[in-house]
Amino acid sequence: MNSSPSASSTLQSKATSALFDQSALSDLAQRLVEAAKRAGADAADAVAVRGVSQGVEVRDGRVEESERSEGDDVGLRVLVGQRQAVVSTNDASGDAVTKLAERAVAMARVAPDDKYVGLADPALLARDFPDLDLLDPNVPATSELERRALEAEAAALAVKGVSKSGGASASAGMGGMVLVTSTGFHGSYLRSSQGISATAIVGEGTSMERDYDFTSAPHAADLLSPEAVGRSAGERTVARYNPRKVETCKVPVVFDPRVAGSLVGHLVGAINGASIARKTSFLKDRLGQQLFSKNIRIIDDPLRKRGLRSQTFDAEGVAVKRTALVDDGVLTTWLLDCATARELGLTTTGHAHRGVSSSPSPGPYNLHLEAGTLSPAELIADIGQGFYVTDLIGSGVNGVTGDYSRGASGFWIENGALTYPVSEVTIAGHLFEIFKSMQPANNLEFRYGINAPTVRIEGLTLGGR
């Protein structure tokens, strides 16, 4: 017998409510911490992670793949004196909690001493948990994901010049974390995620080019439309067709917003507390120094509403806050968790991240480079010859020396305008010089985990033929 629409809706609502209920995870994390203390741990924390995802991939107007995954995992960190161990499981049935705690304590007792390990100072723990609006209560059905993917692909194929589809996809998911510590902290959060992507192809054989576009956000209302994603993918692909080579030269290089965030990523990698403590960063002696021009501000904001990486506490329970990593061009801070802070004689900045099977380590949240005052057109208007980057290839950046060299493709700039597509070139320089000459445009949008407007860099070496 077929169920009525109202009955189906009720079943969907009950399933959704079950996904949003973290009480069982919270109870499990609490029991793990208590079991660790009974087994002989001096301190412990437990993190329980929930992940639910579904996705649909289409090609040539047909569904090629549809999948769904769901799981809860839990990790336990125990400390015995200055010794630490981390264990994880996805099976907490029967006496598994007690056995896991006993195994973790036994591992910690034979681990090497580490004078920097330990839980966060209780005075630093988060006490306020503002609503960051990270959870879209409307979980899309598989049929809705199919519709989004098919519309994106159709829009890409409708662009004149596109010869075939590289596929399109739509996804939705939910993830969350519960953290319980033996010092009394208990925090949790849930966030949803939804996305649409499309890839288009132009040309045939060795002259084939492809490009893509995508959109992602916690809430469906913040996504670009499927049609906009597909059209952008098609237009980007057609613009790349029949690229040319260029001679090796030294020219201004302008980074499209899609790749400009990578420059912020290189900075953040270099100010990670783990790299600073190991002395493996080219910025290890540069705290408090002027690295950029005075108009540059780079922000890390874990409290941004509906942000892709927003959360109200870090993986050690420490309160988080909006921070200017670079203010008026000056490097103001390292990214620290408790262990790296102790090693450097500093206080954690609330940047601890961890999975269920790893100890905490520093990392960023929602990063952005603040916008400048010039439009992208004004930013390139005075460039006689230059290069506009739309895609970067490889990871040829040395975090120890700051040397920068990456494969790239994009467009040649001539007399202040984009002219023909260019591929198979490298751009090279040093991150000190890149940071010093960075000039942002005014077109900042919040679409990614790291966001930046169009950025101009002076005097990079373009390696061509």
C-beta neighbour count of 266 within 10 angstroms: 16
Mean pLDDT of the chain: 93
Q: Which residues pair with 181 in a beta bridge?
A: 45
**pLDDT score recorded for residue 21:** 78
Confidence of residue 4 (pLDDT cuts 50, 70, 90): very low
**pLDDT score recorded for residue 99:** 93
Structure tokens at 224: 């670009």
The CA distance from 147 to 63, in Å, is: 10
Spatial CA neighbour of 368 closest among 314, 319, 315, 308: 308
More confident residue, 144 or 394: 144
The CA distance from 441 to 418, in Å, is: 16
In this predicted structure, the answer to whether residue 14 has a pLDDT above a threshold of 80 is no
C-beta neighbour count of 415 within 10 angstroms: 11
- Alpha-carbon torsion (145, 150, 155, 156), positive or negative: positive
The CA distance from 261 to 198, in Å, is: 21
Question: Could you tell me whether strands 164-181 and 186-202 are parallel, antiparallel, or unpaired per DSSP bridges?
Answer: antiparallel
Over residues 23-65, the pLDDT tens digits come to 888 999 999 999 999 999 999 999 999 889 999 999 999 999 9
Over residues 225-279, the pLDDT tens digits come to 999 999 999 999 999 999 999 999 999 999 999 999 999 999 999 999 999 999 9
How much of the chain, in percent, has pLDDT values that exceed 70?
96
How much of the chain, in percent, has pLDDT values that exceed 90?
88
Over residues 163-185, the pLDDT tens digits come to 999 999 999 999 889 999 999 99
Q: Please tell me the chain's helix, strand, coil percentages from 3-state DSSP, rounded to the nearest 5.
A: 25, 35, 35
Domain boundaries, the chain: 7-236, 249-463
The CA distance from 25 to 17, in Å, is: 14
- Alpha-carbon torsion (446, 252, 236, 204), positive or negative: negative
Q: Concatenated DSSP letters for 184-216?
A: S-EEEEEEEEEEEEEEEEES-GGG-EEEEEEEE
Residue type, 83: R
Question: Average of pLDDT values for 344-357?
Answer: 95
Over residues 371-409, the pLDDT tens digits come to 999 999 999 999 999 999 999 998 889 999 999 999 999
Class of 7-236 in CATH: alpha beta
Confidence of residue 301 (pLDDT cuts 50, 70, 90): very high
- DSSP H helical segments within 40-176, as ranges? 96-109, 142-157
Q: pTM for this structure?
A: 0.92
Over residues 304-314, the pLDDT tens digits come to 999 999 999 99
- Alpha-carbon torsion (21, 23, 26, 27), positive or negative: negative
C-beta neighbour count of 139 within 10 angstroms: 20
Structure tokens at 42: 């001096």
**pLDDT score recorded for residue 62:** 96
